[in-house]
Homo-oligomer: A and B are copies of this chain.
Amino acid sequence: MTNNLKEYARAVAAATDETLQGLLPAEGIFPVSIHQVMRYSMFAGGKRIRPCLLMASHQACGGRFGDEQALQACAAFEMFHTFSLMHDDLPCMDDDDFRRGKPTAHKAFTEALAVLGGDALCIHAFGVLARIGRVDIISETADALGTGGMLGGQVVDIESEEHAVDRQTVEYIHHNKTAALIRASVRTGALLANATAGQTERLSSYGTHVGLAFQVVDDILDEEGTTEQLGKDAGSDREKGKATFPSVCGMEESKRYATELIEQAHADVRPFGEQGAMLRELASFIHTRIS
């Protein structure tokens, strides 16, 4: 990570966390347990990648760094992401006891609180988006999260476990489970800057390419990386019989594909010139994790 990017990521994460602190109900508010599990999961060490992409996209379209509406959206997208992790980790899904070295929500609290706490973050995030006042963003985000997006990817991911799957299925899972919400974050940054249709279209494509690259690189690191690089146990996907890119295409093709996706992401944002510099750096950073 370049110093430039490191500083940027740190600044976005700090501003997002401050916004989240203000938006999430305090832990002492009745009923205490659900507010505790919400905050526990939101502040469990997430890297705030979606907020970084949202803010960088916002700036690429002429928006101001730290714009209040953009920060509210950053917080909302991080809530959506955390909601999905809380439900993914449940015993009836991926059955993960740890995430980033900390007990998952249902281990630290109860299964009921992990379900309801996830529900609450999702619902609260829609409330935050509503108070920004843009129904277009709410409508798009609901589509990105629903069965034609993130949840669809999650269903196929679960149903593909321990089954022989083809490349098309893995692409479907990554495209929906991971890339759909990343694309929506990038699009939201653009829409809040009142980007042109052409700009939004290019950033949409960038979001898809970066989202897919992010997941393919994650798959590669699961095979080759260290637990530290990955933020979770290396090899855990294979142990669970997860459909991954290397498992269907081999390592060489996976790396070639990741490189191609990053090149496409770079091409998508070329017309933004200097204003798109951070988006290019973010894409490059994903690639450096495997090179």
- CB of A122 within 8 A of CB of B122, answer yes
- CB of B130 within 8 A of CB of A133, answer no
A34 interfacial by beta-carbon distance below 8 Å:
yes
Task: Give 1 or 0 for each of A99-131: 1 = CB within 8 Å of chain B CB.
Answer: 000000000001111011011101110110111
- Given A34-B152, A155-B31, A120–B147 Cβ distance below 8 Å? yes
A33 interfacial by beta-carbon distance below 8 Å:
yes
| Chain A stretch 185-230: residues in CB contact (< 8 A) with chain B | none
- Given A31-B155, A147-B25, A127–B142 Cβ distance below 8 Å? yes
A276 and B211 alpha carbons, distance in the complex (Å): 52
Chain B residues near A151: list those with CB within 8 A: 34, 116, 119-120, 123
Task: Give 1 or 0 for each of A32-65: 1 = CB within 8 Å of chain B CB.
Answer: 0111001000000000000000000000000000
Contact of A87 among B33, B110, B116, B127 (CB under 8 A): B116
Task: Give 1 or 0 for each of A145-177: 1 = CB within 8 Å of chain B CB.
Answer: 111100110111011000000000000000000
- CB of A142 within 8 A of CB of B124, answer yes
A14 interfacial by beta-carbon distance below 8 Å:
no
- CB of B126 within 8 A of CB of A159, answer no
- CB of B127 within 8 A of CB of A31, answer no
A93 interfacial by beta-carbon distance below 8 Å:
yes
Shortest Cβ distance from A85 into chain B, in angstroms?
13
- CB of B92 within 8 A of CB of A112, answer yes
- Given A126-B142, A130-B139, A92–B120 Cβ distance below 8 Å? no
Shortest Cβ distance from A129 into chain B, in angstroms?
8
A281 interfacial by beta-carbon distance below 8 Å:
no
Q: Nearest B residue to A84 by beta-carbon distance?
A: B119
A133 and B137 alpha carbons, distance in the complex (Å): 11
- CB of A127 within 8 A of CB of B115, answer no
Contact of A124 among B29, B35, B116, B146 (CB under 8 A): B146
A90 interfacial by beta-carbon distance below 8 Å:
yes
Contact of A139 among B93, B131, B156 (CB under 8 A): B131
Contact of A115 among B90, B124, B143, B147 (CB under 8 A): B90
A138 interfacial by beta-carbon distance below 8 Å:
yes
Chain B residues near A35: list those with CB within 8 A: 147
Instruction: Name A residues whose Cβ lies closer than 8 Å to a Cβ of B.
Output: 25, 29-31, 33-35, 38, 87, 90, 92-93, 110-113, 115-116, 118-120, 122-124, 126-127, 129-131, 133-136, 138-139, 142-143, 145-148, 151-152, 154-156, 158-159
Given contacts A31-B156, A130-B136, 6 further A-B contacts (CB under 8 A): A35-B147, A87-B115, A115-B115, A119-B122, A122-B123, A127-B143
11 contacts between A and B (CB under 8 A): A31-B152, A33-B159, A87-B119, A93-B115, A119-B119, A122-B123, A124-B142, A126-B138, A127-B142, A130-B138, A130-B139
